[in-house]
Chain A
Amino acid sequence: GDSVTQMEGPVTLSEEAFLTINCTYTATGYPSLFWYVQYPGEGLQLLLKATKADDKGSNKGFEATYRKETTSFHLEKGSVQVSDSAVYFCALGTNFGNEKLTFGTGTRLTIIP
């Protein structure tokens, strides 16, 4: 079945550091890939998505590129801020995003000033 393997946390970085959170997937067919963010006490917000190979999703300075050859969708940001502290979930979906999402375990990110 489909699965998502996500970098274990927690991750603690200093402000303005470079961020990478690794995500790899196993899926049949051609999934869409997503990063969701969950701020403390809140729900899941879509951060970015990519729907086909070599697509790059980007939002709020975060980027991730859909790499079919390595089955990866790593999240990156060049300079993190304290406000980026949250839990980040990688997820995959099929059928043009109209089926269940399979989530990774989540990575808790803490940015210290």
Chain B
Amino acid sequence: EPEVTQTPSHQVTQMGQEVILRCVPISNHLYFYWYRQILGQKVEFLVSFYNNEISEKSEIFDDQFSVERPDGSNFTLKIRSTKLEDSAMYFCASSQDYGYTFGSGTRLTVV
């Protein structure tokens, strides 16, 4: 069964550093997303991406965040200057007509 692949599975970074989280969506999907889940809390939408541009973003997705599809297969989330409160599990997802699939997540720990 097709999968959404995320790397790394766990990243530890110092406050103020830049991080890039990587995702490989399912190949025939056209819609891409990032969500985050702070430990023990609900899953929150960050951003959606379609046709090489952001289609929607939440209030969480401020100027510190950016997304990119640098080639035909990868989809990345960049956090420019990490804060302690950015510590969370970040999930990538892709979809195409009800086939909404999540990756297994990257656990980001900011110290």
Contact = CB atoms under 8 A, between A and B. Distances in A.
B82 to A, nearest CB: 22
B43 A89 contact: yes
A37 to B, nearest CB: 11
A104 B42 contact: yes
Contacts of A99: 31, 48, 55-56
A101 B100 contact: yes
Classify the secondary structure of B's interface with A: strand
Contacts of B42: 89, 103-106
A97 B97 contact: yes
B95 interface: yes
Interface residues of B, number: 27
Given A98-B31, A99-B48, A99-B56, A43 B97 contact: no
How many of chain A's residues touch chain B, expressed as a range?
20 to 34
Interface string A92-103: 010011111111
A87 B58 CA distance: 24
A32 B98 CA distance: 8
A101 B101 CA distance: 11
Interface of B: 30-31, 33, 35, 41-45, 48, 50, 55-56, 58, 91, 93, 95-105
8 contacts: A42-B104, A44-B105, A89-B43, A98-B30, A98-B31, A98-B97, A99-B56, A100-B33
